[in-house]
């Protein structure tokens, strides 16, 4: 017995798949409702769907060299080319700053809309007008501005304000702020071409060429947050580079194909312009440097020319003799050489200081500006500039701690160290050359000192003038070279296929698949609910549940009472419920014959809690005994909540309580009913001490006397799960019936009675399954309990006056499968 109980207890914790399936099937109406709602929702969503499109443009990243530049040119520049130029272009086009330039150029933060069937649609260039807004003024954002044309020359502007302030944005500074506005709908009429000057909007509406709006036509313009628009286009732009080739395929997804075309072409145009500007940056820096030098030398040249003319006029010396001319030529050549070396030494000094103090090397002037022709210096300056350009481009879109930056920093540092060594070596060589020139210059100047004083003075002035003139001419020549190279540079971006709407790829999904999802969602929700309720369900829903939960035998299964009182056996003797109680009577009589030889038989009916049908079962069990011709008495011992008197139409003025306290005799408390052989003792007034009354010796006396007068004594007792009164009555009864009600009794409520039965504190106890409904959600759809004397099905038809013939679709299907 103990092992059997333990098995049933463990079985109660398992998941009941059959219960889950039948519970889920009972929700078929919810499934149909959810399916209908899902189909309706999907249909509404499908007809509102706006398809997106994808277009692309194809470019090639070249490394074009300037055709005017040759190895003989005296001015060399870095063309901006880098080893990973393709990757640099990809990173640039993905960067936020690049998209900001494109959005700014196209003004895509401003949209032209028209009301469609379900939503406002972006019509872009299809609008018959344009709104030229004031850039340096805060324009209202994220709020559509309705424009209704009154005629070809005027329109009405309408904006609805839900709050007393709105957000505005200045599209020059990109600054966001808020301005005060009147709450509600704002309307005002304007002329076409008239300045719209409002606190939240400023600009002029102009009609497009050959476009005349129809009076009454409604359009909308809407400004959006600049950063949000940039982020949107940045996220929808894709760049493909197959097998690291120089070919880049740039694509964009949008709902308006004309916008895609313009954005992609502008994206490439801005990239080409920026790349060409970067490519010319080295030449531009050189021109700026040369202009500074020319300005300085020009001032010296002007001063020297004025001094020379003044001296000649004053001393009336306009030419030199032959000896002076030769010395002047020597001095001039040596001065020119000396100036060239000093210029180179000065460049090296500045370059060395620049390398040691600067973190960016994109602004290094060209070495050839100072007349430097050392191949190592030229190449290393060009390389370090290339790497610096690449690093400056990446810093806006790649984190500084990535491997790309680390690799670039290592290369730049290595080139810087090599360049410093080259500078030291070249500097030492130039100093030796300068020393030689100074020696030769001293020798010539010694000869120069022997000339007449006026000749010496004139030569000195001419030397300064000639030196300034030569330096000026050198810088002018180099500036011309730089201008030519800059003007002849071409972009490294070659457009292979510009963006064009020759058949955009539609990105719309298969909308019909949504109906499949709706079906599975409608199916899944009831299944999920059924699963959760099955897992969390703690009620007893079938006799099989009861068999798994307890080893106490089930004496009978009783159906639902559909009458207005509990006398179902008396009022409906041919009903299935009445047959169930007759089966219980038969089983009890068999038990009494096997256990008790003769004499009166006592029976106690109890349950776990109130509401399980304990009184209903005790009344009808007593009734079936009485209808079999046995003298039966029903004693109401539920002293706290007396019930049995109402169904028989008798009074509860006096009863067991009056007898137990010695206030009334037995004859006074026994009441006869309309049912032959059935008497009732009601509980009487509710006492203050019901438990003490039930352990009184008077109760033993009562039972003993009743045994001499009746064949069967049925005791209606309180629930054992709530009070202990019923436990006190066990010594007076031969058998006990414990009532369990379908969909009402909790599984845990059986623990108490199971424990008492397991420890043999309660003997001769049986279970009655009450309220059985075959058609309930958890009835499993078949008759149960032919062995218990109760059942629905074809075999019961015609034998019970509450049996109904089944008809309809399900009965036809059922009969079909039974064939």
In this predicted model, what pLDDT tens digit does every residue of 206-223 receive, in sequence order? 998 888 888 888 999 999
The model's confidence at residue 712, banded by pLDDT at 50, 70 and 90, is very high
Give the pLDDT of residue 488. 64
Q: In this predicted model, what pLDDT tens digit does every residue of 5-17 receive, in sequence order?
A: 343 444 445 677 8
Give the pLDDT of residue 399. 54
CA dihedral 559, 560, 563, 567 (to 10 degrees): 50
Q: Is the pLDDT of residue 101 over 90?
A: yes
Helix (H), strand (E) at residue 229: helix 226-236
Residue with the bigger pLDDT between 400 and 334: it is 334
Provide CB contacts within 8 A for 121, sequence distance 6+.
50, 113, 114, 115
Q: In this predicted model, what pLDDT tens digit does every residue of 316-348 receive, in sequence order?
A: 554 555 555 666 677 677 777 777 787 778 877
Query: What is the rounded average pLDDT of the residues 626-634?
Result: 93
The answer to whether 431 and 345 are in contact (CB under 8 A) is yes
Residue with the bigger pLDDT between 375 and 265: it is 265
Query: What is the rounded average pLDDT of the residues 653-668?
Result: 90
DSSP state of 775: T
The answer to whether 240 and 248 are in contact (CB under 8 A) is yes
Query: What is the rounded average pLDDT of the residues 81-99?
Result: 76
Give the pLDDT of residue 515. 86
Give the pLDDT of residue 741. 93
Q: Is the pLDDT of residue 538 over 50?
A: yes
Rounded CA separation 49/633 (Å): 77
The answer to whether 328 and 463 are in contact (CB under 8 A) is yes
Give the pLDDT of residue 398. 54
Among the listed residues 765, 746, 769, the one whose alpha carbon sits nearest the alpha carbon of residue 756: 765
Residue with the bigger pLDDT between 777 and 43: it is 43
Give the pLDDT of residue 214. 86
**Of the ranges 78-87, 338-347, 605-614, which is most confident?**
605-614
Is 396 strand, coil or helix? coil
In the chain, pLDDT over 90 holds for what percent of residues? 28
Give the pLDDT of residue 593. 79
The model's confidence at residue 191, banded by pLDDT at 50, 70 and 90, is very high
DSSP letters spanning 354-375: HHHH-S--TTPPPGGGGT---H
Give the pLDDT of residue 540. 85
Give the pLDDT of residue 78. 42
In the chain, pLDDT over 70 holds for what percent of residues? 76
Q: Which alpha helices (DSSP H) does 280-402 contain, by range? A: 281-315, 322-357, 375-394
Rounded CA separation 152/215 (Å): 7
Order of strands, sheet of 154-161, starting from the edge strand that comes earlier in the sequence: 120-122, 110-115, 218-223, 145-151, 154-161, 184-191
Rounded CA separation 278/796 (Å): 98
Is 643 strand, coil or helix? coil
Give the pLDDT of residue 781. 41
Q: In this predicted model, what pLDDT tens digit does every residue of 467-491 receive, in sequence order?
A: 677 777 777 777 777 777 666 666 7
Give the pLDDT of residue 787. 40
Q: Is the pLDDT of residue 744 over 70?
A: yes
Is 735 strand, coil or helix? strand
**Residue-averaged pLDDT of the chain:** 79
Q: Of the given ranges (103-107, 247-251, 395-399), which has the lowest mean pLDDT? A: 395-399
Q: In this predicted model, what pLDDT tens digit does every residue of 422-456 receive, in sequence order?
A: 888 888 888 888 888 888 777 766 665 655 565 55
The model's confidence at residue 262, banded by pLDDT at 50, 70 and 90, is very high
Q: In this predicted model, what pLDDT tens digit does every residue of 640-653 receive, in sequence order?
A: 888 888 888 898 88
Give the pLDDT of residue 640. 83
The size of the chain, in residues, is 819
Q: Of the given ranges (196-200, 447-451, 454-458, 815-819), which has the lowest mean pLDDT? A: 815-819
- Domain segments of the chain as ranges: 2-49+509-536, 54-60+80-279, 281-488, 543-818
Provide CB contacts within 8 A for 324, sequence distance 6+.
451, 455, 458, 459
Give the pLDDT of residue 373. 65
The model's confidence at residue 1, banded by pLDDT at 50, 70 and 90, is very low
CATH number corresponding to 543-818: 3.40.50.300
**Of the ranges 139-153, 203-217, 242-256, 395-409, which is most confident?**
139-153
**Of the ranges 245-254, 630-639, 643-652, which is most confident?**
630-639
Query: What is the rounded average pLDDT of the residues 688-710?
Result: 87
DSSP state of 655: S
Q: In this predicted model, what pLDDT tens digit does every residue of 278-320 receive, in sequence order?
A: 767 666 777 777 777 777 777 766 766 666 666 655 665 545 5
Q: Is the pLDDT of residue 260 over 80?
A: yes
Query: What is the rounded average pLDDT of the residues 528-535?
Result: 86
Give the pLDDT of residue 406. 74
Give the pLDDT of residue 812. 44
Q: Of the given ranges (158-162, 198-202, 810-814), which has the lowest mean pLDDT? A: 810-814
Rounded CA separation 738/759 (Å): 17
Rounded CA separation 747/539 (Å): 6
Give the pLDDT of residue 375. 73
The model's confidence at residue 82, banded by pLDDT at 50, 70 and 90, is very low
Taking the complete model, does pTM exceed 0.75, yes or no? no
Q: Is the pLDDT of residue 620 over 90?
A: yes
């Amino acid at each position: 017995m103990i092992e059997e109980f333990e098995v049933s207890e463990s079985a109660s914790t398992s998941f009941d798949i059959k219960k889950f399936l039948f519970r889920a099937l009972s929700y078929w109406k919810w499934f149909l409702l959810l399916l209908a709602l899902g189909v309706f929702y999907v249909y509404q969503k499908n007809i509102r769907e706006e398809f997106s499109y994808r277009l692309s443009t194809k470019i090639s990243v070249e490394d074009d060299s300037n055709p005017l530049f040759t190895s003989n040119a005296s001015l060399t520049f870095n063309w901006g080319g880098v080893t990973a130029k393709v990757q640099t272009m990809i990173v640039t086009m993905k960067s936020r700053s690049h998209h900001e330039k494109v959005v700014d150029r196209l003004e895509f933060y401003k949209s032209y809309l028209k009301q469609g069937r379900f939503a406002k649609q972006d019509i872009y260039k299809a609008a018959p007008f344009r709104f030229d807004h004031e850039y340096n003024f805060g324009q209202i954002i994220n709020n559509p501005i309705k424009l209704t044309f009154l005629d070809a020359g005027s329109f009405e502007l309408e904006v609805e304000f839900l709050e007393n302030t709105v957000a505005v944005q200045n599209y020059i500074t990109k600054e966001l702020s808020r301005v005060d506005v009147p709450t509600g709908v704002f309307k005002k009429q304007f002329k076409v071409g008239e300045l719209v000057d409002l606190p939240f909007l400023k600009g002029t509406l102009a009609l497009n060429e050959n476009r005349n709006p129809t009076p009454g036509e409604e359009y909308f313009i809407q400004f959006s947050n600049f950063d949000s628009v940039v982020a949107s286009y940045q996220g929808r732009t894709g760049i493909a580079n197959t097998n690291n080739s120089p070919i880049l395929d740039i694509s964009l997804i949008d709902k308006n194909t004309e916008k895609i075309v313009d954005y992609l072409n502008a994206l490439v145009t801005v990239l080409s312009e920026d790349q060409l500007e970067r490519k010319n940056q080295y030449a531009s820096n050189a021109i700026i440097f040369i202009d500074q030098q020319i300005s300085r030398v020009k001032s010296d040249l002007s001063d020297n020319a004025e001094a020379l003319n003044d001296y000649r006029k004053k001393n009336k010396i306009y030419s030199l003799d032959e000896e002076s001319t030769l010395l002047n030529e020597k001095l001039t050549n040596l001065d020119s050489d000396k100036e060239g070396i000093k210029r180179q030494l000065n460049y090296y000094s500045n370059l060395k200081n620049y390398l040691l103090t600067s973190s960016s090397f994109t602004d290094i002037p060209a070495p050839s500006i100072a007349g430097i022709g050392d191949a190592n210096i030229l190449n290393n300056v060009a390389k370090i500039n290339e790497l610096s350009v690449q690093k400056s481009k990446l810093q806006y879109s790649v984190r500084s701690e990535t491997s790309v930056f680390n690799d670039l920093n290592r290369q730049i540092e290595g080139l810087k160290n090599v360049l410093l060594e080259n500078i030291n070596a070249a500097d030492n060589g130039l100093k030796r050359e300068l020393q030689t020139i100074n020696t030769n210059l001293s020798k010539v100047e010694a000869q120069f000192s022997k000339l007449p004083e006026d000749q010496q003075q004139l030569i000195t002035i001419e030397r300064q003038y000639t030196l300034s003139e030569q330096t000026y001419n050198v810088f002018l020549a180099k500036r011309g070279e730089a201008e030519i190279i800059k003007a002849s540079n071409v972009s490294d971006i070659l457009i292979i296929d510009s963006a064009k709407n020759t058949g955009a790829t539609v990105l719309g999904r298969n909308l019909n698949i949504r109906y499949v999802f709706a079906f599975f969602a409608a199916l899944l929700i009831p299944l999920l609910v059924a699963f959760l309720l099955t897992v969390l369900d703690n009620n007893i829903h079938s006799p099989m549940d009861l068999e798994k939960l307890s080893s106490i035998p089930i004496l009978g299964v009783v159906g639902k009472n559909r009458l207005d009182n509990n006398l179902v056996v008396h009022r409906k003797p041919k009903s299935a419920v009445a047959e169930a109680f007759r089966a219980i009577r038969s089983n009890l009589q068999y038990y009494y014959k096997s256990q008790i030889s003769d004499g009166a038989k006592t029976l106690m009916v109890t349950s776990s809690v109130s509401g399980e049908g304990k009184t209903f079962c005790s009344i009808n069990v007593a009734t079936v005994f009485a209808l079999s011709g046995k003298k039966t008495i029903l004693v109401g011992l539920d002293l706290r909540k007396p019930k049995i008197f109402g169904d028989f139409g008798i009074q509860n003025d006096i009863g067991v309580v009056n007898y137990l306290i010695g206030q009334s005799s037995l004859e006074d408390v026994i009441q006869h009913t309309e049912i032959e052989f059935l008497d009732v003792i009601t509980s009487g007034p509710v006492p203050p001490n019901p438990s003490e009354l039930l352990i009184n010796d008077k109760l033993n006396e009562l039972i003993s006397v009743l045994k001499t007068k009746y064949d069967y004594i049925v005791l209606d007792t309180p629930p054992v799960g709530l009070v202990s009164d019923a436990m006190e009555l066990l010594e007076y009864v031969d058998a006990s019936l414990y009532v369990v009600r379908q969909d009402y009794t909790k599984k845990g409520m059986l623990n108490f009675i199971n424990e008492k039965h397991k420890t043999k504190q309660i003997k001769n106890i049986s279970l009655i399954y009450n309220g059985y409904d075959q058609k309930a959600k958890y009835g499993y759809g078949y008759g149960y309990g032919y062995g218990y004397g109760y059942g629905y099905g074809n075999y019961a038809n015609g034998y019970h006056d509450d049996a109904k013939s089944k008809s309809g679709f399900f009965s036809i299907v059922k009969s079909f499968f039974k064939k």
